[in-house]
Amino acid sequence: MDKRLFINTKPGNTFLDKLTGKTKVRTFLILIFLLIATWDFRLILPLFFLGLFALLSLHPDPKKMWGVTIFIILMNLFNLLLLWLVSPDYGRNLCGESTVLFRLSEFYIVTAETLWYFLVRFTKFVATFLISMTFIQSITPSEMSAGLHSIKIPYKICTIVSIAFRYIPDITRDFNNIKISMQARGMELDPKKTKLGERLKQNVLILAPLVITSFDRVGNISNAMDLRGFGKKKDRTYYSEHEDTKGDKIMLPVYLAFLALFLVIVFMNIFHPSAYEVWCPWIG
Amino acid sequence: MAKKKKSVGQLLLGNWDTKTIVGVAIGAALFGVLMNYGGIRVFTNTSLSTAMIVPVIVGALFGPLPAALAAFFGNVIADLIGGWGFWFDWSVGNGLAAFFVGLLPLYGAYITDGVFKTKHIAYYAICVVVGQLFSFGVVTPFLTYLWYSSDLTITFSQAWAASAANIAVQLVVGIPLLFVLANRYKRGTNLTKE
């Protein structure tokens, strides 16, 4: 199994696992939208710790987690470096001032505001990562479908999402099997040893069997669903959706509070936009 | 095979039976997996991704709206399992571009009936190019500005790189693929006739 996949088909037994799909999906969506909407470090930092705490509460396999975490941190740092190379004085647009800490050359300066913005941005993305990881590891495909249906999304769309989510591990496994068998036949897949055009060709060679096996499933799955009466009625209920537990009752006011906070932030951004995007402690 | 002619609206929406739903779902899963593993990195956050073939297939088999949904959900799922944060501006852009790619039956290329002629290549190429430029050159940067309100310079350069890469993949790999698909279905239609 691939290291980067954590999709479960059976719920675990921690506090977050036991919540209903409804609570999981709603809390997740509200937190993600909140994180997209805000650039305020005073809000992002608590959300970061919330995500960290939530992820740790699931007791994830530390060996699996390390690989992904390091990958995400490096990727974000690399993106920040790139952003700095393109516009070193980026913080000025967002915080309004620029305090030069030191100069490397005429163009490449290091300003306190840019560093602050990078810190905020980094925390924001790591927080998003932690919350999505928590979500993936605590939810099952049918709970996800049930949760989406609870926010009035048509059940056929919910079914699309849950089937897609369900089949990701299978397709990844097929992908790796095809890749390994291609390598066994002598195909060089090391990016350093092959040219770009050659690699594109090889990717297409992997793609062909993958597409055929994947779309071969469509007939089987849809026949099985038709036989069970899928799509006969206007609406449906979900077997995986159990009654609200104590945890759901605790979480309800929590996510409603986050939703209210999100709405306040959105309205503030529309009607009373602050002059600069990013809150900066020394500018205020 | 005398088929009843469908209206434009019906062609755009596609036929929403169980098979389409499962097809879109598998397409989305495939898109998600290929976004994560099947790319050749050419620029930051942008790669020559074989995922871009998925809208071509879903569009050919089921129509434009299914292709758009497969690409949109595929991108959201890729973001979810990739863990690099959610970029709904890019997901919407991918969905829209896929919608353009999936317009195949609208200009008479009924892949499932085995019809894909030389003249359809030109229409297909125009759709791909217009769709990519419109989605990633206009819509995605606009949504980035609206929702994420930062990085516009980087978004623009990434958007250009992405559309160039996507156009390359969808033309170089997509056109032969459409011929293969059409041929495959053509054999089927011949058999049922006799």
Q: How far apart are alpha carbons A159 and A148 in whole angstroms? A: 9
Asked if residue B110 is part of any domain, the answer here is yes
Angle between helices B53-62 and B88-101 (to 10 degrees): 50
How large is the average pLDDT for residues B33-44? 69
pLDDT-derived band at A96, boundaries 50, 70, 90: confident
Give backbone dihedrals phi and psi of B43, rounded to 5 degrees, phi first. -155, 165
Domain membership flag for residue B149: yes
More confident residue, B10 or B132: B132
pLDDT of amino acid B150: 59
Q: What does the pLDDT read at residue A26?
A: 92
Which residue, chain included where needed, has tokens 């709405």?
A263
Model confidence at A256, pLDDT cuts 50, 70, 90, reads: very high
Inter-chain residue contact A132 with B86, CB threshold 8 Å = yes
In a domain, B64, yes or no: yes
In a domain, B192, yes or no: no
Give the ipTM.
0.82
* Residue B14 is assigned to a structural domain of this protein: yes
pLDDT, chain B, mean: 78
B-chain residues within 8 Å CB-CB of A207? 34, 38, 50, 53, 173
Region A41-54: what's the mean pLDDT? 91
Least CB–CB distance from A200: residue in B28, B29, B48: B48
| Residue-range domain boundaries for chain A | 1-140+240-284
Q: How many Cα atoms occupy the beta-carbon half-sphere of A230 within 13 Å?
A: 21
- Can you give the pLDDT at residue B191? 52
Residue A175: list chain B partners with CB under 8 A. Answer: 33-34, 37-38
Q: What pLDDT score was predicted for residue B45?
A: 58
Chain B, nearest residue to A79 by Cα: B44
Residue A77 to residue A133: CA distance in whole angstroms? 19
The model's confidence at residue B42, banded by pLDDT at 50, 70 and 90, is: low
**Structure confidence at residue B6 (pLDDT):** 64
User: Looking at the predicted structure, is the pLDDT value of residue B105 above 60?
Assistant: yes
Average pLDDT over residues B165-185: 82
Domain that holds residue B90: 9-187
pLDDT at A11 over 90: no
**DSSP string of A134-181, one letter each residue:** HHHHH--HHHHHHHHHHTT--HHHHHHHHHHHHHHHHHHHHHHHHHHH
Instruction: Tell me the sheet residues that pair with A230.
Output: none
Q: What is the mean pLDDT of residues A207-231?
A: 87
Contact (CB, 8 A) for A28 and A151? no
Say how many domains are in chain B: 1
B51 has a pLDDT exceeding 50:
yes
Q: In the structure, what pLDDT confidence band is assigned to residue B40 with cuts at 50, 70 and 90?
A: low
Using the Cα atoms of residue B70, residue B72, residue B76 and residue B78 in order, give the sign of their dihedral.
positive
Backbone angles phi, psi at A231, to 5 degrees: 80, 10
Say what the pLDDT of residue B151 is.
62
- B35 in any annotated domain: yes
